[in-house]
Chain A
Amino acid sequence: MEFQFQFDWQAAIDSIPFLLKGIPYTLLISFGGLLIGFVLGIIFGLLSINKKWFLRWPATAYIEIFRGTPILVQVLFIFYGLPDLIGSPINPLTAGIAAIALNSGAYISEVVRGGVQSIDKGQTEAGLSLGLSRTQTFWSIIWPQAFRRMIPPLGNQAIVSIKDTSLFSVIGVGELVRQGQIYIANTFTAFEVYFVVAILYLAITLSLSLILRLVERRGLASV
């Protein structure tokens, strides 16, 4: 008997409405997590370049731990491990957002550190010499310039984090991949469904790239 595979367009199209139900979860986990991750990144990124060692060391430890362990292990730890410690279950959505937040926060800390350190120290000297305090100098002179340089690596991190959410199918969040798995379990159309899943991820990440490119162009025009 000759084996012949044919891409079943109808199966692919039929799967779309069911798969789309996963998108709000994918977006909620990635952008919710990234938003918190950005706040963590600013806090720990700035702490990691602080002169005081007791602020710098904990920040560096956080960054190294969450950059140095797989996000899959992190989310499994949060979802299956932490409930033992705190004595109550954590819902998968919360666990997913927390994992993205902590993981992206570590990478964003490094982006923040790099961005801030890339600004010439003459800028700080100019601010101080005009009578601005260190805090004023940082927020009105250093940060706006550093932030502009941070946009491309931040966009990069956003794309990585969006894709990382696909791993959270293992804790049963109804995100894109999880929806695909459920659908395939009933229809056995793995090729078509994962194809559509891939296209949907690409649609999200490409839209983000496009938006970032526009933001970047606008931001850089004035420097």
Chain B
Amino acid sequence: MTHIVEMKGMNKYFGKLHVLKNIDLTVEQGEVVVIIGASGSGKSTLIRCVNGLEEFESGKLVVDGQALAPKGGNQKALTEIRKEVGMVFQQFNLFPHLTVKKNIMLAPMKVKSNSQVVANATAERLLNRVGIGNQADKYPSQLSGGQQQRVAIARALAMEPRLMLFDEPTSALDPEMIGEVLDVMRELAKEGMTMMVVTHEMGFAREVADRVIYIHEGQIVEQGKPDDVFDNPQNERTQAFLSRVLAH
């Protein structure tokens, strides 16, 4: 198997705050890695480093064969990585001035120089795949939160990424819409997409993840198969965290 993400001794600071401490982590092609942990533990920061939305201060980070340098040093690698790595955000971040279809067509046309016809066909295919083919000409604000997040997933998929990052994709959703977004993610995982998912949805983690990683105060405290981590956590911090989130 080939590593698609490799972190070695990676450190990240926000000013004096040490947010990621000596992170060692590899993700294999086709693997679904779910990252859990309390708010402020650094789990979002971790995946935001993968596509360079956050810079790191020291250590090694290789994504899809491209080595990123500390402090945003290697812009060329970053450009290449972003073409291959899709991201879905907590707040969707759809482009409100563009229709749903145009949201999806933008990057393939600008970055891959796809023709309008090709980009249009891709957008229609992906919208059907995420179950909202009939909303193509609406603006994002006319859709529900769940639908918007599905558009955001389709928008990322349009670049045919080799890795998808999900940064708390269901945290801003009303409870009744969480399922429809998780369904799309579940399908993606089944089709073999490599995914790094930060989430509080423990049911999803247990069901879909190949590996669960627990982060506490910027450190990977525990990782393993979901059943092992959830049913038999070794570290007491993991035990405490899980008993809090699984209690209700």
Chain A residues with a Cβ under 8 A of chain B:
120, 122-123, 125-126, 128-133, 136, 140-141, 144-145, 148, 222-223
Nearest CB in chain A: distance from B225 CB, A:
29
* CA gap between A140 and B111 in the complex, in Å: 12
Asked if A148 contacts B155 (CB within 8 A), the reply is no
Chain A residues whose C-beta falls within 8 Å of the C-beta of B239 in the assembled complex: none
Query: Is the Cβ of B159 less than 8 Å from the Cβ of A145?
Result: no
Number of interface residues of B (CB under 8 A): 27
Are B139 and A132 closer than 8 Å at their CB atoms? no
Interface bits B147-161 vs A (CB < 8 Å: 1, else 0): 000001001100100
Q: Contacts A130-B156, A132-B110, A140-B110: A223 and B139 contacting too (C-beta < 8 A)? A: yes
Given A122-B89, A223-B141, check contact A132 B111 (CB 8 Å): yes
A118 to chain B, nearest CB (A): 13
9-residue interface stretch from B29-37, B91-99, B127-135, B177-185: B91-99
Residue numbers in A under 8 Å from B107 (CB-CB): 130-132
CA distance A133 to B97 in the complex (A): 19
List residues of B (56-104) whose CB comes within 8 Å of A's CBs: 79, 82-83, 85-87, 89, 91, 93-97
Interchain CB contact (< 8 A) of B95 among A129, A136, A141, A148: A141
A126 lies within 8 A of B97 (CB): no
A131 nearest CB across to chain B (Å)? 4
Residue contact B91 to A122, C-beta cutoff 8 Å: yes
For B159, list chain A residues within 8 Å (CB). 130-131
A122, A145, A148: which contacts B93 (Cβ < 8 A)?
A122
Residue from the list B83, B95, B110 in contact with A123, Cβ < 8 A = B95
Q: Is the interface of B mostly helix, strand, loop or mixed?
A: mixed
A188 to B40, CA, bound (A): 77
A130 contacts B97, C-beta separation under 8 Å: no
In the complex the two chains form, is B83's CB within 8 Å of A131's CB? Answer: yes
Q: How far is the CB of B171 from chain A (nearest CB, A)?
A: 14
Q: Is the Cβ of B96 less than 8 Å from the Cβ of A145?
A: yes
CA distance A104 to B240 in the complex (A): 61
Chain B CB count within 10 A is highest, among A123, A133, A141, for A141
Asked if residues A136 and B51 are in contact (CB atoms below 8 Å), the reply is: no
Given contacts A131-B107, A140-B106, A222-B139, contact A126 B79 (CB under 8 A): no
Contact B93 A131 (CB under 8 A): no
- Is B97 within 8 A of A131, CB to CB? no
Query: In the complex, A100 Cα to B86 Cα: how many Å?
Result: 47
Determine the distance from Cα of A120 to Cα of B90 in the docked complex, in whole angstroms. 13
